[in-house]
Amino acid sequence: MRSPPETPAAVFARDLRKSYRRGREEIEALAGVSFVINPGEFVAIVGPSGAGKTTLLNLIGCMDAPTSGELRIEGTDVSGMNDQERTRFRREQIGFVFQHFGLIPTLTVAENIALPLLFSGKAKKDRVGLLLERVGLWPRRNHKPSELSGGEMQRVAIARALVNEPKMILADEPTGNLDSQTGEQIITLFGELQRSGLTVMVVTHNDPLAQCADRQIQLKDGRTL
């Protein structure tokens, strides 16, 4: 494995390990994973269930700290960060998209998109409007999530992930709850995001989505193949 490149990689992982305790049993979810993802790359993380895909995504998304190993995001070493530092980093650098959309049912489409701005303390009303236009949901801006289709909900989630202008989008099974036609629309949207310069990492079981990626990282039993 090379040393970190001079132009920082979007993600640089070296011998990344993560283990959990479940009662007395220790589970090694990641057992020494190493890879580099370049800025603007579209990468699919694939593998069977229990391979450690979501654990890896959560580590890259600064939702958790690795047990050991080195992890650099956009040149910043995040492996030793505390919870507060990880939260700030996540808020500024990373956008999350979930399989179950993760929309707040009491908020409207526009409010859901604006939610991360509340946490970052930024007031960017124009940005919300632009994103609503970009994902084609401007006419639905005052609707509640319960009034939207699955595809529309995932587009809201993607717009929300983009509102803080992150450098990287992480998506965990973004088409997992969608029919194939709607899934294709979402895949197209991820392609557009990559072309706009964002680094996109997707955990997926969906072959068409994985095929769309520049590269696939295959995981099995917590290791890259």
Partner 1 sequence: MSWWSFPWKEWQRRPLRTAITLTGVAIALAALFSLLSFQHGYRAGLQHELDKLGAHILVVPKGCPYDAASIALHGANWPCYLKSQYLEEVRATPGVSAAAPVLMAAFYNEPGRQTVYAGIDTNILSLKRAWRIHGKFPQATNDVLVGADVARQFKLRVGGQFSLPGLEKQNGFVAGIIDPTSGPDDGFVFLTLSSAQALLGHSNELTHILVRLKDPNQLEQVVGQLRGCDAGLYMNIVPLAHLFETIRSVVNSARVLMGCIAFVALFAAMSGLANSILMSLNERTGEIGVMRALGASRLQVGRLIWSEAMGLCGAGALLGCLAAFGAARFIESWLRSRLPFAPSEPLIEWQFWIVAVCLAISLVAGTLACLAPVIRVTLLHPMEAIRQRNT
Binding site for partner 1 (CB under 8 A): 58, 61, 63-64, 83-84, 87-88, 90-92, 96, 98-100, 102, 104-107, 111, 114-116, 118-120, 160, 164
**Is the CB of 14 or the CB of 90 nearer to partner 1?**
90
Least gap, CB of 17 to partner 1 (angstroms): 16
Least gap, CB of 81 to partner 1 (angstroms): 13
DSSP string, the chain: -PPPPSSPPSEEEEEEEEEEEETTEEEEEEEEEEEEE-TT-EEEEE-STTSSHHHHHHHHTTSS--SEEEEEETTEE-TT--HHHHHHHHHHHEEEE-TT----TTS-HHHHHHHHHHHHT---HHHHHHHHHHTT-GGGTT--GGGS-HHHHHHHHHHHHHTT--SEEEEESTTTTS-HHHHHHHHHHHHHHHHTT-EEEEE-S-HHHHHHSSEEEEEETTEE-
Least gap, CB of 126 to partner 1 (angstroms): 15
**Is the CB of 161 or the CB of 212 nearer to partner 1?**
161
Least gap, CB of 116 to partner 1 (angstroms): 5
Least gap, CB of 90 to partner 1 (angstroms): 6
